[in-house]
Amino acid sequence: MTRDTILVVNAGSSSVKVALFGEGTSPVESFSVTEVGGAAVLKTAAGERPCAAPDHEAAIGLLLETAAAAGFPVARLAGAGHRVVHGGRTLIEPVILDGRAIAAIEACVPIAPLHNPHNLAAIRALGRRAPDLPQVGVFDTAFHATNPEVALRYAIPATEEARGIRRYGFHGISFASLVERLPAILDGPLPGRLLACHLGNGVSLCAIRSGRSVATTMGYSPLEGLTMGTRAGGIDGNAVLRIAADHGIDGAARILNRESGLLALGHASDMRALHAAGTAEARFAIDHFCYWAVRHAGSMAAAMGGLDCVAFTGGIGENDAGVRARICAGLSFLGVAVDGQANARGAPRIEARGSLPVVIVPAEEEAWIAAATRRLIAGQGG
């Protein structure tokens, strides 16, 4: 049987999602198990059904069985690519997941306790189920390793910085995929100074100069930066200490990560629900989201020394014409303007005549992971 398919794995705290890729950029099959450890549900194109998945090991086994039943047994897989949230300082490009790489991912657990343990659980489970299958780690922080040290370093004592307290940035897989595909959309070279806007439930901006990240809005964790679905975004450190004093560390983490952002301001974390609600609170939440996007965009432009192109991706970035229009209006002083009709229909290019390019780039993170995995395995002779 020809080994011609890449399995892409995205493991979270209570879910495991997989997608199967051939040579194309669209998955040939996608499956997931949600509510791992609880009332688990297997989701396929045919529908949903309850399943037994007390842990990630069981979820991976069930997903491999589902893939085999769909015509993709392990013997047909060329390799597996894992989305790993945090690569720290050392894992700054896709790597074959040998013992050394797995140990390096584990060393990042203290700085990514909400994410890396679940990524590791899936890596190890798949290794036990398919020990001969090459596995590759692709890191969400890696794209930002090109930021200058002055951008990465917090102004804190060296002893704390040595413990890993520094800016890392996230959404790197999304930004790397966007950079790779943008020239085809523009039918020209990659712009020298690109503002990339990943707008979804998680939100971050990236200043990309000559294809390399030079600044981004997320920091030590995905909490920093813009207003998000349930995350507070930027907040004074002493305010965090006050919340922790009042509610304890776990309570503060819950409030800032799960009960803040659009949810706290407008009573819904989904931008579509806020538009539909039409309440004063919902309108304020949208105002807040757009204000901080524009304000941080100005910072990104400063980090690049100007602006040549704006690109939107992510669920809000790709689908919310109103938000795109408001952000671009706020950037008019930088030469940004949108064509109302092109923006309303979600055309690939939405800039008005005389504006610098404004582009919508559909997110294809899984496809980028698959392609990176295939390239690395081929280079290793796998």
Residues tagged active-site:
140
Coil, strand or helix at 114 = coil
Q: Residue 6 is inside which H or E element, if any?
A: strand 5-11
Coil, strand or helix at 342 = helix
Question: Is beta strand 193-199 parallel, antiparallel or unpaired with respect to 309-313?
Answer: parallel
Cα 15 off chain centre by: 16
Residue 124 CA to residue 138 CA, distance in Å, equals: 15
Residue 237 CA to residue 58 CA, distance in Å, equals: 40
Cβ distance 347 to 300 under 8 Å? no
Quote the radius of gyration of the chain (alpha carbons, Å): 21
Helix pair angle (99-107, 116-129), 10° resolution: 160
Question: Is beta strand 5-11 parallel, antiparallel or unpaired with respect to 15-21?
Answer: antiparallel
Q: Which amino acid is at 116?
A: N
